[in-house]
Amino acid sequence: MKWYLKAANQGNVSAQYNIGVMLYDGEGVAQNYTEAFNWMLKAANSGDSDAQNFVGTMYEEGQGVKQNYSEAYKWYLKAAEQGEQSAQNNLGGMLYKGQGVAQNYTEAFNWWLKAAEQGNANSQYHIGLMYYFGKVVKQDYTEASKWYLKAAEQGLHLAQYNIGVMYEYGRGIQQNYPEAYKWYLKAAKQGYALAQLNIGGMLFNGKGLKQNYKEAFNWWIKAADSGNADAQHNLGYMYENGFGVEKNIEQAVSWYKKGANKDDKCKEALKRLGY
């Protein structure tokens, strides 16, 4: 820190940026967002694209400075125009949501595409979504699958889940249950409840793999514990009918009640059971 500080005070941009990161992370020094912002701003004003993106993030999140979406957009744009992919991704998000700038889906797509082509997983995922739903581009499941797969291969759980759906239902890609299961499993292991729900469904129904009620139960309970109402209904159904567990109406009712606020199937099950 001592040598970074000496260099930073002499105007060394890399040192200013590194001090900002250390203060932000609390690495070797007490965490201090305000001081981190001040040093990042120095580097950003000197044209450092990483610092500009960092300053944008701190404005967007209100860390070390009052939250200001317009300022966040301004700094993201400076970095994005220099080709900084994280800033391009962030800029796409602000344009899509209309934060700090007028909402513009076309511009959001354009910036996400720039970042996606540089390998940014979040942008690849968003480009996939826009192709899937036909937002500012013609709906194209094949293109959606292509971009989901790129992001999924980088470990993004949302993309892993989505490419799993594409494989399961053959949307834009040849239907392949083992591939669907593989990608659901990757997302499920990251704690994504929808993937856990779908894995449970494939195991319960023996869809592309050997039927296994106990494994289905294990995945559904993970999703249910995260608050997924469909999984809560499914657990109630398993307890009600004795699939993979000993039949237990009390447990069934308990799970149905947990899901009743969000899921009509749970309400119907409770009514059927007299509750």
Q: What percent of the chain has pLDDT over 90?
A: 93
- List helix spans (H) across 118-263: 121-133, 141-152, 157-169, 177-189, 193-205, 213-225, 229-241, 249-259
Average pLDDT rounded to a whole number, residues 243-264: 95
Average pLDDT rounded to a whole number, residues 91-106: 98
Q: What pLDDT does residue 4 have?
A: 75
- What tokens were used for 110? 């354009």
| CA neighbours closer than 13 Å in the CB half-sphere of residue 159 | 23
pLDDT single digits (tens) 23-79: 999 998 999 999 999 999 999 999 999 999 999 999 999 999 999 999 999 999 999
255: confidence class by pLDDT, cuts 50, 70, 90: very high
Kindly tell me if the per-residue pLDDT of 91 is higher than 90: yes
- Contact residues for 204 (Cβ-Cβ < 8 A; gap 6+): 211, 213, 216, 234, 243
Q: What pLDDT does residue 2 have?
A: 73
pLDDT single digits (tens) 149-175: 999 999 999 999 999 999 999 999 999
Kindly tell me if the per-residue pLDDT of 145 is higher than 90: yes
Kindly tell me if the per-residue pLDDT of 246 is higher than 80: yes
- Arithmetic mean of pLDDT over the chain: 96
How far apart are the C-alpha atoms of 54 and 40, rounded to whole Å?
7
- What tokens were used for 159? 């993309």
Q: What pLDDT does residue 66 have?
A: 98
Q: What pLDDT does residue 107 have?
A: 98
Kindly tell me if the per-residue pLDDT of 183 is higher than 90: yes
pLDDT single digits (tens) 4-20: 787 888 889 999 999 99
**Measured CA distances, 71 to 88, 89, 101, 106, 123 (Å):** 15, 16, 10, 21, 22
Average pLDDT rounded to a whole number, residues 70-96: 98
1: confidence class by pLDDT, cuts 50, 70, 90: confident
Q: What pLDDT does residue 10 have?
A: 86
